[in-house]
């Protein structure tokens, strides 16, 4: 049974982000009237990303490993989705590529040669990235 104060905020218990791992978020929503936003929306607003994407001729993004989870809310996937929605060409450069559900128009490029040990790939990442960009852009 909920106390009167908690019943007043009962609808917040079902808010996205306020679940089992969202104890702090729920507390802030109740105590400080905080509002939860997807992280990418907040960062995108800080970076003024929408007009930058609209003005760009080519979007390049990446991460260490680009997989299907990258397309489900992570920053590089969100950048790619928004750029593709604007009709922009998008290239993703990543240490490894394992995405199988990439949307049409998304060009994926692995920068690490097959079989290269992780320590070597990390220590030579700038050179590997530069070579991949020269090859694909």
With a CB cutoff of 8 Å and minimum separation 6, the contacts of 23 are none
Q: Tell whether pTM > 0.75.
A: no
Nearest Cα neighbor of 30 from 53, 56, 3, 48 is 3
> Do the bridges between strand 59-66 and strand 106-110 make them parallel or antiparallel, or are there none, so unpaired?
unpaired
Indicate the pLDDT class of residue 13, thresholds 50, 70 and 90: low
- Span 58-66, mean pLDDT? 94
- Tell me where in the chain the CATH 3.40.50.10350 domain(s) lie: 48-136
Higher pLDDT, 20 or 108: 108
According to CATH, the topology of domain 48-136 is: Rossmann fold (3.40.50)
Across the chain, mean pLDDT equals: 84
pLDDT at site 73: 75
pLDDT at site 36: 72
Residue burial 19-33, b: 16+ Cβ < 10 Å; e: rest: eeebeebbeebbeee
Q: d(Cα 86, Cα 49) in Å, to the nearest integer? A: 12
């Amino acid at each position: 049974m909920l106390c009167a104060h908690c019943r007043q905020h009962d609808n917040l218990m079902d808010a996205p982000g306020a679940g089992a791992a969202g104890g702090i978020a729920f507390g802030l929503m109740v105590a400080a009237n905080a509002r939860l936003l997807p992280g990418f929306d907040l960062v995108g607003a800080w970076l003024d990303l929408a007009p930058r994407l609209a003005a760009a001729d080519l979007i390049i993004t990446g991460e260490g490993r680009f997989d299907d989870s990258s397309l489900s809310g992570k920053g590089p996937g969100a950048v790619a989705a928004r750029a593709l929605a604007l009709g922009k060409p998008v290239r993703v450069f990543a240490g490894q590529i394992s995405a199988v559900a990439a949307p049409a128009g998304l060009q994926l490029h692995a920068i690490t040669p097959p079989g290269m040990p992780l320590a070597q790939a990390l220590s030579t990442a700038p050179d590997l990235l530069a070579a991949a960009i020269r090859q694909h852009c």
